[in-house]
């Protein structure tokens, strides 16, 4: 088996044992990137020389006897929304083209401290606003399973990089499903930790009460190992939880779910759901039962109102957060010829720098927060958010985890929903409730849809700080299905 096909855990063990160097592993992945990037467009920034220097430094640290973690020397793709002092950070927007932050995000610094080697910065929907990675100012990313399909969004570059074997691991952010939905449609694992469990410091903000950094991987254990690296309290983030990181790696290795109570969310199914998605989901539920779980149906009526509530809360927060891009302090500046006022320069810069979806959400949010409409829209949406959180609490008194399809459909064709924002937003129908309540949720592959042969994801939701439950159930499903399939789901993907 070539180096690019090994798991992150296997690569870490090989490097630690001296059987291969971090430089050799990095170069193998850089070669793969050179081969497939023209088809995928998963990366916005690649610097081979810098990557090899990072790997060489890790080899030197290990050679000097420094004790690093189990992922030391393992390459990782990094979503281009995390600040990186040695690489551009653009959030896939023209307004930040070429910008180099003066500091690293906490997630970035923790990756470096653990010895991971950053391969480059990955593509995304501009400012993480989208479900398809078609909103990037630097071109669409393509799904490795079918290059005519979307890889999900907003973290589509990160999911495509892992699914196409360009990287064994990647980082993402999940504001309304932007890790779980891309993971589902590319056949990999994606985890949204408990809100506050991973630091937002140095993350370019979209919606501050929702944004959550999390891992992508090709298997549950690798995701847990990465989760453990960058999670934990950060005094630089006022919303960071000062509590121990749940034992996610131990849970992924244990995977015993006998006696576990699993709730099937009644509201996630029926009209609008692809038949093949529902078929694989029901098979996954039967599998959980066969593994010793106790399955019951759970009703959460307010989940059906999560989508409209989210599309008032998230745009409202984004309209505030994006006010900082004013052409005065950093980033793009248009029309500053000495004849225009600051307000004119600001207006010209934003018109040129922000894409259509970002402008749409800024206007929605500004309207929802405006005088006379605040209580009717934003205030009501926050009340719905509270009801959803209470329904989660009530559900978790009955069961240990909740399950649903991750997305209503498989990956849709590029361009199919570009002119229909409502249809695009529906891709996040099942994922948004967990963002509004802040609880943990993971997507793991559960098969291929009959209609198109594309991946389907199973979503597992757990209470706040119950992240280990997600990994425990996800690992159990993964082991059982891989035994049935004779390998991982990605082994069934067409060769690039």
Using one digit for the tens of pLDDT, what is the confidence trace for 364-407? 999 999 989 999 999 999 999 999 999 999 999 999 999 999 99
Whether residue 159 lies in the annotated active site: no
Whether residue 178 lies in the annotated active site: yes
CA quadruple 430, 80, 424, 414: dihedral, nearest 10 = -120
- Give the model's pLDDT for residue 471: 98
Q: Are 46 and 130 in contact (CB under 8 A)?
A: no
CB atoms within 10 A of CB 412: 22
Cα–Cα separations (whole angstroms), residue 38 to 41, 140, 218, 248: 6, 12, 22, 36
Query: Looking at the domain assignment, is residue 224 inside a domain?
Result: yes
Helix residue ranges per DSSP H, 151-219: 156-163, 180-186
- Give the model's pLDDT for residue 400: 98
Residue 346 CA to residue 335 CA, distance in Å, equals 9
Query: Looking at the domain assignment, is residue 100 inside a domain?
Result: yes
Query: Looking at the domain assignment, is residue 427 inside a domain?
Result: yes
Out of 136, 178, 199, 404, pick the active-site residue: 178
Query: Looking at the domain assignment, is residue 148 inside a domain?
Result: yes
Q: Are 105 and 87 in contact (CB under 8 A)?
A: no
Query: Looking at the domain assignment, is residue 307 inside a domain?
Result: no
- Give the model's pLDDT for residue 1: 76
Query: Looking at the domain assignment, is residue 339 inside a domain?
Result: no
- Give the model's pLDDT for residue 329: 86
Secondary structure letter of residue 128 according to DSSP: G
Query: Looking at the domain assignment, is residue 48 inside a domain?
Result: yes
Query: Looking at the domain assignment, is residue 440 inside a domain?
Result: yes
Which residues, 6+ apart, have CB-to-CB distance to 282 below 8 Å? none
Q: How many domains does the structure of the chain reveal?
A: 1
Out of 6, 79, 94, 121, pick the active-site residue: 79
Domain hosting 286: range is 3-302+386-492
Do the strands 440-448 and 455-462 form a parallel or antiparallel pair, or are they unpaired? antiparallel
Residue 191 CA to residue 467 CA, distance in Å, equals 9
pTM of the model: 0.97
- Give the model's pLDDT for residue 128: 98
Q: Which portions of the chain are predicted below pLDDT 50?
A: none
Out of 131, 136, 154, 155, pick the active-site residue: 154
Closest listed residue to residue 468, CA positions, set 177, 221, 292, 183: 221
Q: Are 31 and 56 in contact (CB under 8 A)?
A: no
The CATH number for 93's domain is 3.90.1300.10
Do the strands 261-265 and 294-298 form a parallel or antiparallel pair, or are they unpaired? parallel
| 220-230 vs 8-16: helix crossing angle, rounded to 10 | 70
Whether residue 383 lies in the annotated active site: no
């Amino acid at each position: 088996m070539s180096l690019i096909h090994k798991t992150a855990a296997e690569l870490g063990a090989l490097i630690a044992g001296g059987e291969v160097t971090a430089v050799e592993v990095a170069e193998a992945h850089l070669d793969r990137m050179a081969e497939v990037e023209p088809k995928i467009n998963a990366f916005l920034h690649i610097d081979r020389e810098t990557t090899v220097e990072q790997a060489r430094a890790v080899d030197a640290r290990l050679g000097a006897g420094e004790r690093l973690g189990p992922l030391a020397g393992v390459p990782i793709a990094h979503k281009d929304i995390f600040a990186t002092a040695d690489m551009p950070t653009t959030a896939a927007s023209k307004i930040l083209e070429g910008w180099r932050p003066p500091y690293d995000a906490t997630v970035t610094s923790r990756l470096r401290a653990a010895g991971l080697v950053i391969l480059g910065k990955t593509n995304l929907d501009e400012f993480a606003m989208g479900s398809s990675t078609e909103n990037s100012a630097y071109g669409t990313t393509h799904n490795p399973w079918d290059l005519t399909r979307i890889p999900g969004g907003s973290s589509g570059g990160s999911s495509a990089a892992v699914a196409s074997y360009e990287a064994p691991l990647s980082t993402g952010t999940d504001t309304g499903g932007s890790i779980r939905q891309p993971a589902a449609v590319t056949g990999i694992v994606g985890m949204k930790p408990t809100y506050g469990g991973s630091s937002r410091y140095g993350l370019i903000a979209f919606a501050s009460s929702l944004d959550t950094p999390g891992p992508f991987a090709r298997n549950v254990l690798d995701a847990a190992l990465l989760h453990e690296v960058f999670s934990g309290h950060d005094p630089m983030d006022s919303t960071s939880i000062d509590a121990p990181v749940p034992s996610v790696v131990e849970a992924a290795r244990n995977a015993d779910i006998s006696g576990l109570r699993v709730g099937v969310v009644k509201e996630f199914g029926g009209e609008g759901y692809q038949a093949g998605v529902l078929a694989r989901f029901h098979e996954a539920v039967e599998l959980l039962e066969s593994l010793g779980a106790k399955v019951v149906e759970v009703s959460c009526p307010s989940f059906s109102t999560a989508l409209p509530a989210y599309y008032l809360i998230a745009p409202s927060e984004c309209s505030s957060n994006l006010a900082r891009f004013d052409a005065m302090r950093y980033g793009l500046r248009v029309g500053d010829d000495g004849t225009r006022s600051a307000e004119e320069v600001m207006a010209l810069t934003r018109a040129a720098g922000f894409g259509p979806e970002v402008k749409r959400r800024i206007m929605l949010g500004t309207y929802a927060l405006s005088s006379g409409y605040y209580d009717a829209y934003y205030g009501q949406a926050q009340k719905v958010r509270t009801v959803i959180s209470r329904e989660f609490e009530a559900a978790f008194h009955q069961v240990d985890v909740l399950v649903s399809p991750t997305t209503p459909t498989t990956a849709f064709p590029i361009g199919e929903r570009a002119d229909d924002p409502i249809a695009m937003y529906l891709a996040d129908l099942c994922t948004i409730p967990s963002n509004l309540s802040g609880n943990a949720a993971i997507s793991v592959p559960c098969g291929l849809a009959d209609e198109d042969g594309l991946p389907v994801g199973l979503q597992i939701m757990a209470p706040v700080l119950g992240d280990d439950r997600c990994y425990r159930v996800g690992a159990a499903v993964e082991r059982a299905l891989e035994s049935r399939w004779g390998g991982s789901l990605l082994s069934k993907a067409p060769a690039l």
